[in-house]
Structure 1
Amino acid sequence: MSVVFILLGLTLLVVGGEFLVRSSVALSFRLHISKMVIGLTVVSFATSTPELLVSVQAALDGFSDISLGNVIGSNIANIGLVLGITAIISSLEIDKDFYKINWPFMMLLSVALYFILNSGKIITRVEGICLLLALVVYLWVIISRAKKSREPKEVSSDEVNVSLSKTSGFKISIWLLIGGVALWGGSELLVKGAVDLAQLMGVSERVIAVTMIAIGTSVPELAASVIAALKKEKAISLGNLIGSNIFNIASVLGITAIIQPIAVVSEQVLTSDIFWMLAFSGAIIPLAFLPKRYILSRYKGIILFVSYAVFIGLIFSS
Structure 2
Amino acid sequence: MPSVSYSALWFLFALVLLAVGGDSVVRGAAGLARRLGWPPFAVGLAIVALATSIPELVVNFYAVAQGQGDLALGNAVGSNVVNVGLTLAVAAMVAPLLVRWRALAHLLVVVLAATALVLLMSLDGRLSMLDGAILLVAFVVVFVLKILRSRENSPEVHAQIESVTAGVGSIAVDLLRLVIAAVALFFGAKLLVGHAPALGQVMGLTPLVTGLLPVAIGTALPEVAGAVRAARRGNGDLVAGHVIGSSLVNILLVLGGMALLSHGLSIPASFVRYELPAAFVFVAMLLPILRGDMRVSRGEGAVLGVALLGWIVFELLMLHR
Instruction: Give the TM-score, by structure 2 length.
Output: 0.91
Structure 2 residue runs of 5 or longer lacking an equivalent are 1-5
Aligned residues: 312
Alignment partner of 1:98 out of 101, 104, 110: 104
Looking at structure 2, the residues matched to 177 and 305 of structure 1 have their Cα atoms a distance apart, in angstroms, of: 37
> C-alpha distance in 1, partners of 2:104/2:162?
21
SS at match of 1:236: helix
Deviations 1:171-212 (A, max 9, x none): 222111110110010011111111111222232011111011
* Displacement after TM superposition at 1:20 (Å): 0.4
Give the direction of change, closer, same or farther, for the CA distance of 1:122–1:155 in structure 2 (3 Å limit): farther
Whole-Å separation in 2 of the counterparts to 1:105 and 1:206: 25
CA distance in 2, matches of 1:294, 1:17: 29
User: Counterpart in 2 of 1:156?
Assistant: 160
- 3-state SS, counterpart of residue 25 of structure 1: helix
Closer, same or farther: CA 234–293 of 1 in aligned 2, 3 Å? closer
Deviation at 1:45, TM superposition (A): 2.4
User: In 1, Cα distance between the equivalents of 2:293 and 2:47?
Assistant: 31
The structure 1 residue matched to 2:116, chosen from 111, 117, 120, is 111
How far, CA to CA, are the matches of 1:142 and 1:58 in structure 2?
31
Residues 296, 209 of structure 1: CA spacing in aligned structure 2 closer, same or farther, 3 A cutoff? same
Residues 12, 186 of structure 1: 8 Å contact kept? yes
The equivalent residue for 1:310 is 310
Matching of residue 44 in structure 1 with residue 44 in structure 2:
no
Which whole-Å CA distance do the structure 2 matches of 1:231 and 1:148 have between them? Answer: 24
For the residues of structure 2 that align with 1:48 and 1:246, how far apart are their CA atoms? Answer: 10
Q: 1:152 and 1:234, CA in 2 relative to 1: closer, same or farther beyond 3 A?
A: closer
Q: CA deviation at 1:288?
A: 4.0
Name the aligned partner's letter for residue 112 of structure 1: L
Tell me which amino acid in the other structure corresponds to 1:10: L
Distance 1:56 1:80, change over 3 A: same
Deviation at 1:284, TM superposition (A): 1.2
Quick one: which of 120, 131, 137 aligns to 1:133? 137
Sequence identity, in percent?
29
Sort the Cα spacing of 1:254 and 1:77 in 2 relative to 1 into closer, same or farther, 3 A: same
Q: Which residue of 1 aligns with 2:149?
A: 145
Relative to structure 1, the CA distance from residue 315 to residue 159 in structure 2 (aligned partners, 3 Å threshold; closer, same or farther) is farther
Contact 2:97 2:295 in 1 (8 A): yes
1:219-298 alignment, distance < 5 Å: 219-234=221-236, 236-261=238-263, 263-264=265-266, 266-289=268-291, 293-298=293-298
Residues 35 and 160 in structure 1, CA contact (< 8 A), matched pair in contact too: no
Partner amino acid for 1:130?
A: I
Give the 3 Å change call, closer, same or farther, for CA 161–151 of structure 1 in structure 2: closer
Give the aligned partner of residue 217 of structure 2. Answer: 215
Asked whether the 8 Å contact 2:24–2:178 carries over to 1, the reply is yes
Cα distance per residue 1:11-67 (max 9 Å; x no partner): 100000011011010110111111100011245324321111111111111111111
Quickly say closer, same or farther: Cα 1:43–1:179, change in 2 above 3 A: farther
Please, which moves more after superposition, 235-244 or 62-71? 235-244
Distance 1:159 1:218, change over 3 A: farther
Provide the residue aligned with 2:58 in structure 1. 53
Gaps of 5+ in 1: none
Counterpart of 1:37, as a letter, is: A
Deviation at 1:150, TM superposition (A): 7.0
> Which 10-residue stretch deviates more, 199-208 or 155-164?
155-164
The one of 105, 119, 125 equivalent to 1:121 is: 125
| Mapped partners of 1:301, 1:152: distance in 2 | 24
Which among 167, 170, 189 is matched to residue 168 of structure 1?
Answer: 170
TM-score w.r.t. structure 1 length? 0.91
* Offset, 1:75: 0.3
> RMSD in angstroms over aligned alpha carbons?
2.0
Question: Is the Cα contact below 8 Å between 1:194 and 1:208 reproduced in 2?
Answer: yes
**Post-superposition CA distance 1:107-162 (Å, at most 9, x none):** 111111111111x3222222222111111111122111113557484143795242
- Conserved in 2, the CA contact under 8 Å of 1:64 and 1:262? no
